[in-house]
């Protein structure tokens, strides 16, 4: 427990989701006495009325905005307009209404998809504006990046304490395993585990396997968000990651080994790889508020696979 959280009334949008549930658990451990999670069935955060009602009912003095419409490459390609509009409008209205309601601090959680397609590796926060994002997820990434602009503008004009944190790709127990909308790790775990159970002799994987990604365990991401909310008050965006990358080909091999799938891996090169490389410079988070990821990648994968096997059973 820390003294910072003792008198904080916290509202966590998306607090019932994958990352949000982990953040709520971490806030409870930190000693936050009142955590309000507005559920989508009760509050439509895409509307001004829904946002205003949530703020009135929760009466927070600190807001952590995690609610988002997300998905993998396929979902982004099929829903570019929806992903842009719903993510932008939620954040814009929530930040504006929070300011008007007298909220003390607003934590905006962005996305690594905001970075330019060809960003020097490791991605440094100062490179955010040096090009256009990877095309398949650009609408989502740009919607989130506009909230960085809004937060900096509100800090400049109104003195509103808005911070912007950028987590890399997340994974962990409780992730989304729906093939229509899941990200790469849960999609691969499901493919490998289900193929092993069915006795299939192969799986098919999108792309060439040459793209690289960095992955952050969900509980580590929650730790970074809570530490940032407590200790950071600057206008500059801050990466949350581990600072190491792995190619998709290597990732498939690791997941196949951990799920005990021994069949053939077939690559569908007609499908997109997405951004060529993705790995973050994590020095700013370490220097500004002391965050370093603690979970080893294989330990995190084992926990995620075990959760999927239990849930599927």
Of 75, 80, 13, the residue nearest 44 (C-alpha): 13
Q: Alpha-carbon distance 134 to 118, whole Å?
A: 8
Of 111, 101, 37, 124, the residue nearest 76 (C-alpha): 111
State whether residue 11 is helix, strand or coil: strand
Cα dihedral 116→118→123→124 (10° resolution)? -60
Is residue 218 within 8 A of residue 22, CB to CB? The reply is yes
> Among residues 43, 115, 140, 232, which one is catalytic?
140
Is residue 229 within 8 A of residue 62, CB to CB? The reply is yes
**H or E segment to which residue 153 belongs:** helix 138-158
Strand 246-247 to strand 212-213: parallel, antiparallel, or no bridges (unpaired)? antiparallel
Cβ contacts of residue 37 below 8 Å, gap of 6+?
11, 12, 13, 15, 16, 20, 24
Active site residue 217: no
CA angle at 270 for the pair 274 and 194, rounded to the nearest 5°: 80
**H or E segment to which residue 268 belongs:** strand 264-268
Q: Alpha-carbon distance 255 to 54, whole Å?
A: 41
**Helices H / strands E in the chain, number of each:** 10, 12
Q: What are the catalytic residues? A: 140
């Amino acid at each position: 427990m820390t003294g910072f959280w003792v008198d904080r009334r916290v509202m966590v949008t998306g607090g019932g989701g994958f990352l949000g549930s982990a953040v709520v658990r971490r806030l409870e451990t930190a000693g936050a006495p009142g955590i309000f999670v507005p559920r989508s069935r009760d509050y439509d955060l895409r509307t001004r009325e829904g946002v205003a009602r949530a703020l009135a009912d929760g009466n927070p003095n600190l807001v952590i905005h995690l609610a988002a419409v997300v998905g993998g490459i396929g979902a982004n390609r099929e829903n570019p307009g929806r992903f842009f509009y719903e993510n932008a409008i939620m954040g814009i209205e929530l930040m504006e209404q929070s300011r008007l309601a007298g909220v003390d601090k607003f934590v905006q959680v962005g996305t690594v998809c905001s970075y330019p397609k060809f960003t020097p590796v490791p991605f440094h926060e100062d490179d955010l504006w040096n090009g256009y994002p990877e095309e398949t997820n650009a609408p989502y990434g740009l919607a989130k990046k506009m909230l960085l602009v809004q937060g900096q503008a509100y800090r400049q004009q109104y003195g509103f304490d808005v911070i912007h944190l950028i987590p890399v790709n997340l994974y962990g127990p409780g992730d989304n395993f729906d093939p229509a909308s899941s990200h790469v790790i849960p999609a691969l775990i499901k493919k490998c585990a289900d193929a092993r159970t069915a006795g299939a002799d192969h799986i098919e994987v999108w792309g060439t396997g040459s793209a690289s990604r960095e992955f952050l365990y969900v509980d580590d991401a929650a730790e970074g968000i809570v530490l940032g909310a407590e200790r950071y008050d600057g206008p500059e965006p801050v990466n949350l990651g581990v600072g190491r990358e792995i190619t998709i080909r290597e990732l498939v091999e690791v997941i196949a080994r951990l799920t005990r799938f021994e069949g053939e891996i077939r690559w569908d090169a007609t499908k997109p790889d997405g951004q060529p490389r993705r790995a973050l410079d994590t020095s700013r988070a370490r220097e500004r508020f002391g965050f370093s990821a603690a979970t080893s990648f294989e330990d995190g994968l084992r926990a995620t696979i075990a959760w999927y096997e239990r849930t599927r059973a």
